[in-house]
Amino acid sequence: MEQGIIKVSVVDDHVLLREGLVGMINSFPDYSVISRADNGRQFVTQLESGLQPDIVLLDINMPVMDGFDTSRWVQERLPEVKILALSMYDNESSVIRMIRNGAR
C-alpha cells in the first residue's frame, strides 16, 4: 500500500451490515471505501474491470461465490490485496481455511 488514502472494498450480502461498515470506514480520514459488493462473484467482476483496493473486508458466508473461493481467487491473482475475513463463524476449520486462502 502506498502512503495516502487506503482504498477499501466491502463484500457482504447483508446490506445493513455492509452499509454500516462503509459509513464507519469512511468516517476515518485515511480510509475510503471504493467499492461494495453483494457476493464474491460481483467483487471479482469489479477486480477484473480494474478495481484496485488495498484492503477487502470479506464475508465468508455469501451466495453465488463465498468468501473461501473469493479469497483464494484474490490471493492467486492479486496477492498485494490484504484480505480481512468477516463472519459469524468462529470454528477453527473456517478460520484455518480462510488463512490458507489468503485472509489475515
- What top-level class would CATH report for the domain 6-100? alpha beta
Helix (H) / strand (E) element for 85: namely strand 82-86
C-alpha cell at 32: 475510503
What pLDDT digit, counting tens, does each position of 46-76 carry?
A: 999 999 999 999 998 899 999 999 999 999 9
Q: What is the pLDDT of residue 86?
A: 83
Q: For residues 31 and 17, give the distance between their C-alpha atoms in angstroms, rounded to a whole number.
A: 18
Q: For residues 79 and 102, give the distance between their C-alpha atoms in angstroms, rounded to a whole number.
A: 8
- For the ranges 21-30, 55-64, 83-92, the lowest mean pLDDT is seen at 83-92
Taking the domains of the chain in order of start, what are their residue ranges? 6-100
Q: What is the pLDDT of residue 88?
A: 75
* Angle subtended at Cα 26 by Cα 99 and Cα 9, rounded to the nearest 5 degrees: 35
Confidence grade of residue 89 (pLDDT, cut at 50, 70, 90)? low
